Structure 1
């Protein structure tokens, strides 16, 4: 058992399958309440770059367009702050955040964000493009743009967040198997859940599946299939020569909404430059067919927007890194048990390509569901019984001009064997 003792142990109270952002958080929160009772299983090495949970930085924000998320955001911050307090390491950085669009295009979305924050008593500031430029001179915007600013938005260090969750979980006695693929899940003759892996069989009271793009590979043996679109995404880091203007204390995270793309940016953090990317704009793939090759077209889309609104952010390309999103058609989280399929003791969570900001809180929620059978947080919008997961003709909300679904997969996303 990689770097863990107890390799001959077969029974654990709880097993977590997939130890990325959400899975590592579940390990941590479970281990706080059930020391020495938790096993994490990861098919690759910890910190791998095959999925979607590893990078320098991810946006965290109070600003959300939907109450289902906005109600959770204050507790999201509290979860990260508790982790920081216990570890002594900073993961959460408040830079402020901007949501913006051109007037007459997607300014109604900016208004929706503002309205949702107001309804949830989250302070925010409405800005014309000229006011945005005065507040943050890096933005060369005029009154052809509108924006909403929220002071508590910022970034979370994903790589450190994952590592801290894992290290603290191990400190609480959690065991972790790396480079260990799950083959299937079933029950033994006594009805105990059994997780069959390439390194042996393990038994538990409940299992939590946080397997990202491999979710249906794990759930398939239970007769469970979740409609998930796996897309290959990418982020680009630029070496701006104007570094002082793009540090975390001077440059906010931002999201630009347009009819064709949603594009986001982050300040310099870690050994990187400014970060920019198209959100959910990549081609539909499987974990087997994806490549690690950047798409020059999407790089250009980002650079064109920077030239328009943030020209001083542009510098030599440091690198472009690919990752995988795994998204239900409505791009909402899945947080539920598989009880309708006869598996109340199997809990599944999918982050829909935008969950890292919520990762620690989702881990806490999953631990409550596993240990207590319920959670105090409102996750009613994220159930397995909703229309988007039951209607095979539900049109994916995130597939725009940059991401086409082949006709053969439109009604059966991720139908290929993973």
Structure 2
């Protein structure tokens, strides 16, 4: 149900109310109260983009210091929402990062180095130690592993809903089923956002539109090079339910040369969860469909039979979503000042941002209100080859054919 937007002018308008956008609305509303309008083109809680589902991984480990320097603050941001709402959103179950040493040992080392750079504690385990700690994993002795105790999951759909509800409590207005037609300036130089439900002027616009980023920014002549893919996750109805609860089973990521796989314990649905990162076909928001790919389901089954066999059972559900990835698979957090629109702040999460969503929303709110942020996001500006160089070759693990099993 829409909140009645009784005004035609707001201090700040947020375009997109998924994970990052709902957080931006929340953090803005904490500082400016009823001077905030959130616009969502679909119904709140929709499944058309990339912010839905029961659970998403959150972790301190990353393979680059530009991320690990932010991970602790990400947890703090989520904790602030939990404290204000009284609703638990983050569950720390521990995180496993593992691979075959001879194939991907250097990748595991890169994660360790990035954690070392920001004093994040972790343990290195052998395959034997992983089996001892978590016998659900039937890995070989050639496996190398990183264990980080603070990793876990975020309840994605709950987090989005809670942030919107808190924002409304702070005085923000939210309009859903309200797409942005264009952004321009009126005769007085004010920024105006045009929608089917009215025209709204503001001081600053925050764009967190996911796969629709260029639909919005294109109206001011800006195009951000992104690749949109249709991804999916699958839940299996394991008969060994207790072994895959949050009390017994960690989140995990398996690094392989072609695709990373990841999984989570039972949360919000009675099955264990698995997905293939960046394994989907390239689409647009208009051409995507909601039909799961059976070949990717088979690939997940093939992997689990070998590595986590007791997690298998009948397929409960496979769900699709969209990844919107910059060509270097790194975030963009910036203003459009260099393009003549300093009043527009935007973010692209590159297909791996939900864990950071609450912090990214806070950063966007600071950029919108203060013109700067206290967090180190210099590595995520527009001024880098993946955004500015038209000859930049995508550095993504993209599907080139449908024979997944041979690649994992």
Range class of TM-score, shorter chain: over 0.9
Equivalent residue runs for 1:14-413 within 5 Å: 14-401=12-399
Q: What SS is found at the alignment partner of 2:268? A: coil
Report the CA distance between 1:111 and its aligned residue.
1.2
Tell me how far apart the structure 2 counterparts of residues 104 and 297 of structure 1 sit (CA, whole Å): 27
Distance 2:127 2:269 in 1: 31
Q: CA deviation at 1:402?
A: 5.1
1:143 and 1:276 mapped to 2: Cα distance? 23
1:114 Cα offset (Å):
1.1
Q: Are residues 403 and 233 of structure 1, via their aligned partners in 2, closer, same or farther at CA, if it must alter by over 3 Å?
A: farther
Label 1:401 to 1:325 Cα distance change in 2 as closer, same or farther (>3 A): closer
Partners of 2:181 and 2:399 in 1: CA distance:
37
Give 1:413's aligned residue.
none
**CA–CA distance in 1 between the matches of 2:64 and 2:146?**
15
TM-score, with length taken from structure 1 = 0.95
- Superposition deviation, residue 302 in structure 1: 1.2
- What is residue 13 of structure 1 aligned with on the other side? 11
Structure 1 residues without counterparts, runs of 5 or longer = 405-418
Task: Tell me the equivalent position of 2:3.
Answer: 4
Stretches of structure 2 lacking an aligned partner (at least 5 in a row) = 403-408
Q: CA separation of 1:16/1:262 partners in 2, compared to 1, >3 Å: closer, same or farther?
A: same
Contact map agreement 1:284 1:403 (CA 8 A) in 2: no
Q: What is the TM-score with the length of structure 2 in the denominator?
A: 0.97
Secondary structure of 2:193's counterpart equals strand
Instruction: Note if contact 1:128-1:142 (Cα within 8 Å) is conserved in structure 2.
Output: no
Q: Give 3-state SS (helix, strand or coil) of 2:313's partner.
A: coil
Residue 403 of structure 1: how far off its partner (Å): 6.9
Q: CA deviation at 1:151?
A: 0.3
CA shift, 1:305, in A, is 1.1
Using the TM superposition, give the Cα deviation of residue 117 of structure 1 relative to its aligned residue in structure 2, in angstroms.
0.9
d(CA) in 2 for partners of 1:139, 1:402: 29
Provide runs of 4+ in structure 1 moved above 6 Å.
none
Q: Which moved more, 1:313-322 or 1:141-150?
A: 141-150
Does the 8 A contact of 2:333 with 2:348 survive in 1? yes
Tell me which residue corresponds to 1:407. Answer: none
Whole-angstrom distance in 2 between the partners of 1:310 and 1:373: 48
Q: Distance in 1 between matches of 2:164 and 2:181?
A: 23
Whether the 8 Å CA contact 1:264–1:278 is kept in 2: the answer is yes
**3-state SS, counterpart of residue 103 of structure 2:** coil
Paired with 2:401 and 2:260, the residues of 1 have a C-alpha distance of 12
| Length, aligned pairs only | 402
Root-mean-square deviation (CA, aligned residues, Å) is 1.1
Q: Matches of 1:127 and 1:295 in 2, distance apart? A: 34
